[in-house]
Structure 1
Amino acid sequence: MAPLPEYRPKQLSVGPLEAEILNIVWELGSATVKDVHDRILSDPNRELAYTSVTTVLRRLTEKGWLACDKCGRAFFWRPLLTKQQAEVIKAHEQLQRFLAVGNPDIIAAFADSLDEAASEQIQAIAKRIEVARQAREEQ
């Protein structure tokens, strides 16, 4: 997994429609309102006003997820983070909230409820943490 990016959006939380539109912009790399609107309407069971797409794109820009560039008369939105970078930031935030519990006994109590695959994942994570610590000490 990639390191924690230096850039972070002003607001991490995004709603379901914001997440859907953000995913579309990630897929396209850069998109106009029409590009996003057409993609959403490609599902015959969906309806969404063009102005709603504009509002969500502006909201994602205000939250720090997207940047808006003007080219001629058209506005193009582009992501400020890759999808992978966003996943790293969100995972880091979740880990920080989990560790904020602060009591090792409470956290360790979860070990009893883990299946073998989850236990192996935790052991693999612990090994990676140890390797990272050793690498930092050697620098």
Structure 2
Amino acid sequence: MNRGAAEGRVGVTNQRQRPPRRGQGELEGLVLSALREADGPQTAGSVQERLGGGLAYTTVITILTRLLAKGVVARERAGRSFVWTPVSDHAGLAAHKMRKLLDGESDREAVLASFVTSLEPGDERLLRELLGRAKAEGEN
């Protein structure tokens, strides 16, 4: 009989506990926040430092590349590296996500109708006001 079984520890292994998985988009949000809080364009290494070094450099590069593909950040060559800047603020990013979700749906009218009917009265008023302003600007 093995020693673990003799001591009543059948099936117990000496594995390290993994940290809990982050939510979808959480790392992208952290990287984007680090870029927004910076004074000007940042290298991937400086973003990694701003995040406390908890992420591998390659992970930061991967996240920045994904954000670039989504049109959320821009990059510019600086020597042998790139510097990265956010393209929009939090509101712009949220609007981009909403638009992307809407573009992925076949019945846009149903999605928009469901969205509008789920709004709080104050948000519905604000949306109507914003649509009215956008229409007036388009007529000018």
TM-score class, shorter-chain normalisation, is 0.5 to 0.7
Identity of aligned residues (%): 27
Higher RCO structure, 1 or 2 (CA under 8 Å, sep 6+): 1
Question: 5+ unaligned residues in a row in structure 1: which ranges?
Answer: 1-13
Count the aligned residue pairs: 113
For residues 41-61 of structure 1, give each alpha carbon's deviation from its aligned partner in whole angstroms, at most 9, with x where no partner exists: 17xxxx221221122222222
Contact 1:34-1:50 at 8 Å conserved across structures? yes
> TM-score, normalising length from structure 1?
0.57
The alignment status of 1:36 with 2:47, answered yes or no, reads: yes
Residue identity opposite 1:52 in structure 2 = T
Residue identity opposite 2:64 in structure 1 = L
Which runs of structure 2 are paired with 1:36-75 in the superposition (5 Å)?
36-41=47-52, 47-75=54-82
The alignment status of 1:78 with 2:85, answered yes or no, reads: yes
- Once residues 42 and 98 of structure 2 are traced to their aligned partners in structure 1, the CA distance between those partners, rounded to angstroms, is 27
Residue 16 of structure 1 is matched in structure 2 by: 26
RMSD: 3.5
Q: CA deviation at 1:64?
A: 2.7
Question: 5+ unaligned residues in a row in structure 2: which ranges?
Answer: 1-23
Richer in helix (by share): 1
Distance 1:38 1:131, change over 3 A: closer
Residue 121 of structure 2 is matched in structure 1 by: 119
> TM-score, normalising length from structure 2?
0.57
Residue 100 of structure 1 is aligned with which of 109, 112, 115? Answer: 109
Q: CA deviation at 1:35?
A: 1.0
- Higher-Rg structure is 2
